[in-house]
Amino acid sequence: MGVSTSSPEKGISVSSPQEGISLVTVDFPPVNALPVQGWFALADAVRAAGRDPRVRCVVLTAEGRGFNAGVDIKEIQAQGSSALVGANRGCFEAFAAVYECEVPVVAAVQGFCLGGGIGLVGNADVIVASEDATFGLPELDRGALGAATHLARLVPQHLMRALYYTSRTATAAELHAHGSVWRVVPRGELFAAALELAREIAAKDGELIRLAKSAINGIDPVDVRRSYRFEQGFTYEAGAVGVADRVRNRFGSAGQEGKEGA
């Protein structure tokens, strides 16, 4: 398949570690909080990988200390409503691209997986995580709403609500106990573990694995696109009435990093 890399400024690269596998890597230092265009670039990369007839599995991974810290709140604070609309649309496209990818997507998660990161892994087919991985939605602390649709795919309903209302996180070991994380491994073994699983999937017949992906998506009890879009409506409402700005400004003035959400 060869190796292709997107424009460096986009922070999304695509490579082929071996036949049948496409590796999509996110790299937006310092915390992988994606700007608006980053979400759209990620969506394009995943969709393109899935369309390639030579690809039978996509591995979604990230550089740095954490997998994903959600949207770049500083961009929203600087640009206002246009950036908020762009971030919501970008997240919607990226989450949908992972879910609708024509082949299975394996997410390799290290460190923090917050906000929009939950949307990505919640829509992936399989999750492999490092021992230090944590998963959560800090939305209520960041003036946003959303991705409960995807957190509900990782943990039972009442735990999802508790995590959402408190902005607490769950560990990789806890998610493994709930059956949503396939394997938990030391950080140094994460890529190898994800690649091992991808290799097993990619050994299947290419046409049949695509039919299998379509069939499994077709029997999902929840329409994830529609469910997440419904949630986003409340994010718009929070922005329109000033609640979002009030909470985001409080978060920023607390001297924290100011980057996470969905």
Kindly report, residue by residue over 219-234, the tens digit of the pLDDT.
Answer: 999 999 999 999 999 9
- Rounded to the nearest 10 degrees, the angle between the axes of helix 224-240 and helix 116-123 is 170
Domain membership of residue 262 (yes or no) is: no
Whole-model pTM? 0.91
Q: What's residue 79's pLDDT? A: 80
Percent of the chain with pLDDT over 70: 92
Distance separating alpha carbons of residues 185 and 161, to the nearest angstrom: 27
CATH of the domain at 82: 3.90.226.10
- At residue 5, does pLDDT exceed 50? no
Q: How confident is the model at residue 240 (pLDDT cuts 50, 70, 90)?
A: confident
Q: What's residue 254's pLDDT? A: 57
Domain count, the chain: 1
Domain membership of residue 212 (yes or no) is: no
Domain membership of residue 260 (yes or no) is: no
Q: How confident is the model at residue 12 (pLDDT cuts 50, 70, 90)?
A: very high
Q: What's residue 7's pLDDT? A: 41
**Phi/psi of residue 128, nearest 5 degrees:** -115, 135
Q: How confident is the model at residue 253 (pLDDT cuts 50, 70, 90)?
A: low
Query: 79 is written with which tokens?
Result: 């640009």
Q: Which residue has the higher pLDDT, 4 or 126?
A: 126
149 exposure class (CB count in 10 Å sphere: 0-12, 13-18, 19+)? buried
Domain membership of residue 38 (yes or no) is: yes
Q: What's residue 187's pLDDT? A: 98
Domain extent at residue 141: 4-186+223-253
Residue found under tokens 């999509």: 24
- At residue 1, does pLDDT exceed 60? no
C-alpha distances out from residue 200 to 39, 57, 185, Å: 29, 9, 18
Domain membership of residue 15 (yes or no) is: yes
Average pLDDT of the residues in 74-97 = 88
Domain membership of residue 20 (yes or no) is: yes
Domain membership of residue 99 (yes or no) is: yes
Q: What's residue 235's pLDDT? A: 87
112 exposure class (CB count in 10 Å sphere: 0-12, 13-18, 19+)? buried
Domain membership of residue 197 (yes or no) is: no
